[in-house]
Amino acid sequence: MLAAGVQHVGIGVLSGLSDWRRDWAMLMLHEEYLRKNFPHGPTILGTPRLKVAPGALFQESPFTPTRQEFLATIALHNIFSPTTAPFVSTREDWDMCVELAKGGGCLFTLNCSTTPGGYSLHHHGCQFTSHSYDAPIYSNKLKSEGLDPVFNWKASDLSGDTGVEQTTCQSPQVGTN
């Protein structure tokens, strides 16, 4: 995609499947390789952490970073690559979203369902706990935290050159899963 001229691509790692320190080191090495070999490096960083699903055979992992380890890793990545915006998964609670936004900005989704059938079926499904935040209510909460939610953002907003601390929010398109 980068070789074809696509300017904005995302990369990421699901922390918790193996040693998260090694996974993040490999991710950063890969990111460095992309920056050196293509005109543009990644601009969005997926940051999901492994979460337990009710009824699943797999109930815990010794490899999942703690809250503080996760925050420190994202902070380190923000220093390593300040123009790559972390995308906070719906797996994270509201306080985590706000902490990450205050720590350098991030992308996260409001009014979202990641549960299988979440838009068409009216039940919570059998997936890990996920969070959906109502845009009108939570955008005001972001403002009360001193953050500026941006809904109509453009890919160029991810360049990191704005000089303004902002949180970019994304709302789902009606009828999509």
Alpha carbon distance 148, 142 (integer Å): 7
Alpha carbon distance 53, 105 (integer Å): 29
The alpha-helical segments, DSSP class H, found in 3-53 are: 20-37
Identify the residue with better confidence: 42 or 174. 42
Alpha carbon distance 132, 150 (integer Å): 17
Identify the residue with better confidence: 58 or 165. 58
3-state secondary structure of 45: strand
Would you say residue 41 has pLDDT above 70?
Answer: yes
Looking at residue 57, what is its pLDDT?
76
Residue 109: is it exposed, middle or buried by C-beta count within 10 angstroms (0-12/13-18/19+)? Answer: buried
Highest mean pLDDT among 18-32, 39-53, 81-95, 108-122: 18-32
Q: Is 75 left (phi over 0), alpha (psi -120 to 50) or beta?
A: alpha
Average pLDDT over the chain, rounded to whole?
A: 77
Looking at residue 72, what is its pLDDT?
92
Q: Angle 67-80/20-37 helices, nearest 10 degrees?
A: 20
- 88-123 pLDDT, tens digit per residue, is 877 788 888 888 888 877 777 766 666 665 556 665
Predicted TM-score (pTM) of the model is 0.74
- 124-141 pLDDT, tens digit per residue, is 555 556 677 777 888 888
